[in-house]
C-alpha cells in the first residue's frame, strides 16, 4: 500500500502565514538592497580617491620653481640686485613675485616680474642691514597664476666694496657774468663719499673781500660763492684740487679717499651798451648828464666817446666827457650847448665800452632844450648930474 504524499505549491502558506512566493520575493529584495549598498560604498570610496588624486595632481602641477640664485653680490653704489626668475609647472602659467619677509625686507623692492632692487643705494662703508655686516636677507614669494599656489626663496645679498674714484664732472665751464650761488658742477663717483673739500690753491679771492670764488659741499656740489671774483679778463680758468673721503663705520682701515683737479673754464661775455637818450637844458653848465650802463659783462669796463662830441666855440674843450671807469657823462663846456644853434641843438654821442677783450658801441642822443631869457630886476639910483654912460647892467 502506498502512502499518500503532499506536494507543496506556491500558494501554500508557511508556518508564519507567508506564501513561498512571498519569501522568495523578500529574499530577492534583500539581496538587491545589499548589492546596492555595497556598490554605493564602492563608488563613494572611488570618488574620494579620485578627488584626492585630482587634488594631488593639481598641487604637483600648478607650482612655481625658482630658477634664479639664492645669493647675490652686487657692488656698492648701485641699486640693482638680481633678476628673480621662476618656472610655473603648468603649461602657459606664469609666476609673479612679492617681497614677503626676511630680516632686511624693508631695504628692498621687487616688481611683479622679478626685478629686485635696493630701496636706497647701498654704501659698503655705511651698511644698514639688520646686523650691519653688509649681508642683507630677504624672502621672495612666487605665486602661480593658475591657482595662486606659492613658493618662497630666501635670498642673501652681500654688498661688495669698491675703491673710491672720480667718474665725472671735473671740467665744467661757466660764463663770466654768472651770479653768486649759481651751480657750477656736481662731481660723480663710483661710490658714495662722506665728504668733499677743496685742497691747495686755485680757489682765489680776486676782490679781496674774504670770500673765495667757489664753494663745495660734502656731496661734492660746487657753486659760485663770490661772482665778483670771476672775470674772464682776469682769469680765464680755475684749477682747484678736490679731496673726497669715504669712511668705513665698521673698520676704519677700510676707509678710502680720492683726489682730483677740477678745471673750471670761464667763458667771455661781451659788454652791451644800453641806450640812454636824455634831454639837457641849454643853460646847463657843468654836472652829470647821464649814466651809461651795460648788460652782459659789467666788470672792468672802460668807457669812451668815439664821435659826436662837438667843440663849437673852438676853445679846445668839447661839450661832454665820459668817465672811463663809470660811464657817467658830464658837461665840460657849457658854451658849446645852444638850442638856437642848429648844430648845437642835439648831440649824438657814439659811446664805446670794452672789457679788454670785446667791445660794444651805442649812439646816445642828448637833445638840448630851450631855456628862455629871464630879466632880473635891478633897481638903481642915478645922480641928477649924470649925463652920459652906463646906468645899469641887466
At the top level of CATH, the class of 166-267 is: mainly beta
Q: How far apart are CA 268 and CA 176, in angstroms?
A: 6
User: Per residue of the chain (394 residues), what is the pLDDT tens digit?
Assistant: 444 444 455 555 555 565 666 667 776 777 767 766 765 555 555 544 444 444 444 444 578 999 999 999 999 999 999 999 999 887 678 999 999 999 999 999 999 999 999 999 999 999 999 999 999 999 999 999 988 999 999 999 999 999 999 999 999 999 999 999 999 999 999 998 999 999 998 999 999 999 999 999 999 999 999 999 999 999 999 999 999 999 988 877 778 899 999 999 999 999 889 888 888 887 666 667 878 877 787 778 999 999 999 888 899 999 999 999 989 999 998 888 876 666 667 899 999 999 988 999 999 999 888 776 666 666 767 676 666 665 555 5
Distances (CA, A) of 162 to 76, 125, 129, 172, 193: 7, 10, 18, 26, 12
CB 77 within 8 A of CB 162: yes
Instruction: State the span(s) of the chain assigned CATH 2.60.40.60.
Output: 64-158, 166-267, 271-369
What is the Cα 84 distance to its own chain's centre? 29
183 grid coordinates: 651751480
What is the Cα 263 distance to its own chain's centre? 23
At the top level of CATH, the class of 271-369 is: mainly beta
Among 114, 115, 64, 66, CA closest to 93 = 64
Q: How far apart are CA 118 and CA 106, in angstroms?
A: 9
Q: What is the pTM of this model?
A: 0.64
Q: How far apart are CA 106 and CA 159, in angstroms?
A: 16
Per-residue model confidence (pLDDT) at position 391: 55
Tell the CATH superfamily of the 64-158 domain: Cadherins (2.60.40.60)
Element holding 66 (H helix, E strand): strand 64-66
Phi, psi for 224 (deg, rounded to 5)? -80, 125
Per-residue model confidence (pLDDT) at position 10: 52
Among 269, 247, 268, CA closest to 258 = 247
140 grid coordinates: 621672495
Per-residue model confidence (pLDDT) at position 184: 98
Amino acid at each position: 500500500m502506498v502512502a499518500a504524499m503532499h506536494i507543496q505549491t506556491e500558494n501554500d502558506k508557511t508556518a508564519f502565514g507567508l506564501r513561498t512566493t512571498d519569501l522568495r520575493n523578500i529574499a530577492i529584495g534583500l539581496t538587491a538592497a545589499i548589492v546596492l549598498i555595497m556598490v554605493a560604498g564602492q563608488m563613494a570610496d572611488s570618488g574620494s580617491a579620485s578627488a584626492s588624486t585630482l587634488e594631488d595632481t593639481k598641487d604637483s602641477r600648478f607650482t612655481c620653481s625658482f630658477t634664479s640664485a639664492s645669493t647675490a653680490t652686487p657692488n656698492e653704489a648701485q641699486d640693482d640686485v638680481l633678476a628673480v626668475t621662476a618656472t610655473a609647472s603648468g603649461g602657459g602659467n606664469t609666476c609673479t613675485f612679492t617681497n614677503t619677509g626676511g630680516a632686511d625686507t624693508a631695504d628692498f623692492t621687487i616688481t611683479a616680474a622679478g626685478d629686485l632692487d635696493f630701496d636706497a643705494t647701498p654704501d659698503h662703508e655705511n651698511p644698514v642691514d639688520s646686523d650691519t655686516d653688509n649681508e642683507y636677507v630677504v624672502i621672495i614669494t612666487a605665486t602661480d597664476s593658475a591657482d595662486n599656489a606659492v613658493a618662497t626663496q630666501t635670498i642673501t645679498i652681500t654688498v661688495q666694496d669698491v675703491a673710491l674714484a672720480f667718474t665725472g664732472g671735473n671740467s665744467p665751464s661757466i660764463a663770466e657774468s654768472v651770479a653768486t650761488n649759481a651751480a657750477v658742477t656736481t662731481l660723480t663717483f663710483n661710490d658714495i663719499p662722506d665728504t668733499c673739500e677743496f685742497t691747495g690753491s686755485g680757489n682765489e679771492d680776486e676782490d679781496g673781500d674774504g670770500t673765495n670764488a667757489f664753494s663745495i659741499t660734502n656731496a661734492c656740489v660746487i657753486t659760485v660763492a663770490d661772482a665778483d671774483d670771476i672775470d674772464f679778463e682776469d682769469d680765464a680758468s680755475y684749477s682747484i684740487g678736490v679731496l673726497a673721503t669715504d669712511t668705513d663705520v665698521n673698520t676704519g682701515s677700510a676707509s678710502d679717499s680720492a683726489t682730483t683737479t677740477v678745471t673750471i673754464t670761464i667763458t667771455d661775455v661781451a659788454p652791451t651798451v644800453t641806450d640812454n637818450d636824455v634831454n639837457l637844458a641849454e643853460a646847463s653848465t657843468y654836472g652829470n648828464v647821464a649814466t651809461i650802463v651795460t648788460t652782459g659783462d659789467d666788470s672792468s669796463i672802460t668807457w669812451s666817446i668815439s664821435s659826436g662830441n662837438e667843440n663849437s666855440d673852438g676853445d679846445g674843450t668839447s661839450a661832454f666827457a665820459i668817465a672811463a671807469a663809470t660811464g657817467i657823462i658830464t658837461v665840460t663846456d657849457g658854451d658849446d650847448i645852444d638850442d638856437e644853434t642848429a648844430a648845437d641843438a642835439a648831440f649824438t654821442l657814439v659811446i664805446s665800452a670794452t672789457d679788454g677783450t670785446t667791445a660794444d658801441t651805442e649812439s646816445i642822443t642828448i637833445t638840448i632844450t630851450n631855456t628862455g631869457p629871464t630879466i632880473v630886476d635891478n633897481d638903481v639910483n642915478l645922480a641928477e648930474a649924470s649925463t652920459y654912460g652906463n646906468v645899469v647892467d641887466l
